[in-house]
Structure 1
Amino acid sequence: MEIRHFRYFLAVARQRNFTRAAEHLGIAPPTLSRQIQDMESELGARLFLRQQRDVKLTEAGVALVIEAEATVRQFECAQRNAQRAGRGDIGHIELGYVASAVFGGVLQKQVQAFSRECPDVSLNVRESPMATLPAMVLDGRFDMGYVRSPMTLPEGLDEIRLNAEGFVLAVSAESWLCRLPDIGPQHLQNETFILPEQITGTLQVAAQGGFSPTLGAQPGGLVAVIALVSLGQGVAVVPESVVGHVGLPGVLYRKISGCEATSWLSLIYRRFEKSAAVVRYIEQVKHS
Structure 2
Amino acid sequence: MELRYLKYFVMVAQTQHFTRAAEQLGIAQPPLSQQIKKLEQEIGVPLFDRSSRKVELTKVGETLYVDALNILKSVEQAKARAQQMARGENIEVRIGFATSTAICKEVLAIMRHLRETFPKVNFIGVELPMHKLVEQLKEKQLDLAFKRLPCYACEQLERIMLFEEPFIAVIPSNTPLASQSTLTFSQLRSERILQFPRETGPALYDEMTSIFSDKGIVCDPLYSAPQLRSAVAMAQAGFGIAIVPRSLAEHLDNSTTVASIQDMPLISQVVVAWEPNNLNHQVRQIIASIRHYKVQYLSNEPME
Structures share fold, TM-score greater than 0.5: yes
> Which residue of structure 2 aligns with residue 92 of structure 1?
92
**2:242 maps to which of 236, 255, 259:** 236
Q: Is the 1:202–1:237 Cα contact (8 Å) retained in structure 2?
A: no
Identical pairs, percent = 19
**Pairwise CA distance, 1:275:** 1.4
**Pairwise CA distance, 1:125:** 1.1
> Which residue of structure 2 aligns with residue 122 of structure 1?
122
- What amino acid maps onto 2:273 in structure 1? I
Q: What is the SS of the residue equivalent to 1:147?
A: strand
**Pairwise CA distance, 1:183:** 2.0
Residue 285 to residue 180, structure 1, CA distance change in 2 (3 Å): closer
For structure 1, the 5+ residue unaligned runs are 1-80
TM-score where L is the length of structure 2: 0.59
**CA deviation map 1:144-175 (0-9, x unaligned):** 11011111125642221110010110111112
Residue 274 to residue 188, structure 1, CA distance change in 2 (3 Å): same
Aligned mates of 1:89, 1:241 — CA distance in 2: 37
> Which residue of structure 2 aligns with residue 178 of structure 1?
178
Aligned alpha-carbon RMSD (Å): 2.9
**Pairwise CA distance, 1:250:** 1.6
Aligned mates of 1:174, 1:112 — CA distance in 2: 38
**CA deviation map 1:164-212 (0-9, x unaligned):** 0101101111122225574211122233322355545743652552444
Residue 240 to residue 254, structure 1, CA distance change in 2 (3 Å): same
- What amino acid maps onto 1:139 in structure 2? E
- What amino acid maps onto 1:218 in structure 2? A
Residue 181 to residue 252, structure 1, CA distance change in 2 (3 Å): closer
Residue 174 to residue 119, structure 1, CA distance change in 2 (3 Å): same
Aligned mates of 1:128, 1:104 — CA distance in 2: 15
> Which residue of structure 2 aligns with residue 110 of structure 1?
110
Residue 253 to residue 114, structure 1, CA distance change in 2 (3 Å): same
Which one has a bigger Cα radius of gyration? 1
Aligned mates of 2:177, 2:214 — CA distance in 1: 18
Q: Is the 1:189–1:213 Cα contact (8 Å) retained in structure 2?
A: no
Residue 195 to residue 136, structure 1, CA distance change in 2 (3 Å): farther
**1:220 maps to which of 218, 227, 237:** 227
Q: Is the 1:161–1:266 Cα contact (8 Å) retained in structure 2?
A: yes
Aligned mates of 1:211, 1:135 — CA distance in 2: 33
**CA deviation map 1:123-156 (0-9, x unaligned):** 1012222232111211122111101111112564
Aligned mates of 1:204, 1:257 — CA distance in 2: 17
- What amino acid maps onto 2:250 in structure 1? G
For structure 2, the 5+ residue unaligned runs are 1-80, 294-304
Question: What is the total number of aligned residue pairs between the two structures?
Answer: 205
Aligned mates of 1:143, 1:114 — CA distance in 2: 14
Pair 1:270-2:271 in alignment: no
